[in-house]
Structures are given as structure tokens and as C-alpha cells.
Structure 1
Amino acid sequence: MGLIVLIVLVVVLFSGCATSSPRIVIEPASQDLGEVPQEPLEASYTIRNDGDDVLQIEKVSTSCGCTKASVERETIPPGETTELRVTLDPIEDNLHGDVMRLIYVRSNDPETPEAQVEFRATIRKADS
């Protein structure tokens, strides 16, 4: 009898420990746009919530002022996706040659509070 009570207590105690949480997945993790002219560039990524609670995008930032990033929506229910759009204007800072930029996505995912993706390109300098 005492063993049954102990088992029931353990089950009840540990059943409250299972919590739901969001899980951010961004694909692709990296993009290489190859050789491109010195013109504004665009890339897009898919943010997916693989968790079992609502994913909240709290902040999106980039590694450089010439790169802008935004999400289509900031609240992503479990199993759903949104688009992360990134633009780089190489003309603004006269960028050319090999470039690599990082995009940071802060969310309420407890295991990955800040995810990052990158994109690369080789920018051909515009003729002057």
C-alpha cells in the first residue's frame, strides 16, 4: 500500500514539471548569394516554431548598419512559420568584394534566446 502511495506521489509531482515552450528554427542557416552587382540585395529565411507554445520574436538586429532585417509577424503559434526578410544596400557604404553579414533574432525560446543566420555575397564594384 505504501509503495502505491509513493508511486502516485512521484507521478503527481513530476507531471507538473513538464512545461511547454517555444522552439525557434530558422532555415536556411546560411545563404551564399554568389557574385552579384553592386545593387541592393535581398534574402529571405523561414522562421518556424517547432515547440508547443507560442514563439514571440522580441528583436531582430544585424551586424551592420547597411543591412536591414524584419519579420512578417512577431507571434508564431506552434507548428507555424513566418518570413524573415533581409536587405543589404552595398551602395550606401560602397561595399564590394566578399561580404558576410549576420542577422540576430531574439525570442522567448528558453534554449536558444538568440538565434542567428548569415548571408554572404561577392559584390562586383559598379563602374564609375
Structure 2
Amino acid sequence: MKIKFIFIIYFVNLFSGCSKPQDILKSSIRQIDFGNIKKSGSYKVIFYLKNNGVNQIQIKSINSSCGCVIAIPEEDFIKPHDSIKVHLAYEPRKSGLDKQILTITDIKEKYKINIPVSANVIP
């Protein structure tokens, strides 16, 4: 009886589609470190957002903790098992170690990704 109960629980979990939210919307990068850069420049990075789920995801916002980091997705919707490209631009405004957070959320606010952005800005 105990084995039958364990099998039933395993079977239900296997086919219930129980995925953790952090496993559904994924970024191709965990952090962005520009290293030593000059204050007068503009620095760009491209990364990808992937939808590992079975439903379409609509991106609500990509915001940073300052106006010096701007990220723009090529599309607002990510089809199931597909990816979209995101263009990020960083224009430092102060010298020294700069640390920011890029936050990506979907329209239903079910998924959220935080990506640290850092640079050592040389005057």
C-alpha cells in the first residue's frame, strides 16, 4: 500500500506541470560586468530571454536602478520554448565602482529576473 501511494504522488507531480517560476523565464546571463571602462563611453551588451514554459509570456517591463542602464527587448512576447533578444546600453554617469540592478518582469508579475550590472568607471 505504501509503495502504491508513493507511486501515485510521483505520477501526479510528474504530469501536473509543476515548474518553479524561476525555471520558466530564464536569462542567458546571470550578471553583466563591464570591468574597467571610461566614463565618456557608451557600452552595449546583447542577451536573450527564454520561455521554457508552455504558455506565451508578455514582458511588462525591463527597468534598472538608474537611468544609466537601458534595456530594450526586440519583442514584447515570448512564445513557448522560444527566445527573444534584449539590447542593453550602459552610459556611466559617475566615476568609481558602479553597481546597478536590471529587473525584468512579465505582465502577470508571475516571473521576475534580477541581473546585477557593474563597472569600474575611470574618469
Indicate whether the TM-score tops 0.5. Answer: yes
Q: Deviations over 1:19-74 (max 9, x none)?
A: 69882001211021111122112122210001111111111111002221111111
Letter in 2 for 1:96: S
Q: Which has the larger radius of gyration?
A: 1
Partner of 1:36: 37
- CA shift in 2, pair 1:54/1:106, >3 Å: same
Superposed displacement of residue 82, structure 1: 0.8
1:76 maps to a residue whose letter is I
Give the length in aligned residue pairs. Answer: 105
Instruction: Let me know the Cα RMSD of the aligned residues.
Output: 2.3
Q: Which amino acid aligns with 2:32?
A: Q
1:20 and 1:77 map into 2 onto residues whose CA distance is 19
Task: Show the counterpart of 1:89.
Answer: 91
Cα distance in 1 for residues equivalent to 2:59 and 2:34: 26
Contact 1:24 1:109 in 2 (8 A): no
Work out the CA distance in 2 between the residues paired with 1:69 and 1:80. Answer: 19
Question: Secondary structure at 1:116's aligned position in 2?
Answer: strand
2-side partners of 1:36 and 1:48: how far apart?
Answer: 29
The equivalent residue for 2:113 is 115
Q: Which runs of 5+ in 2 are unaligned?
A: 1-11
Give the secondary structure class of the aligned counterpart of 1:78: coil
2:49 and 2:70 map into 1 onto residues whose CA distance is 17
**Secondary structure of 1:84's aligned partner:** strand
> 1:105 corresponds to which letter in structure 2?
I
CA distance in 2, matches of 1:20, 1:73: 27
Q: How does 1:1-128 map to 2 (within 5 A)?
A: 18=16, 23-38=24-39, 39-90=41-92, 93=93, 95-107=94-106, 108=108, 110=110, 113-125=111-123
User: Matched residues, percent identical?
Assistant: 18
Q: TM-score, normalised by structure 1?
A: 0.71
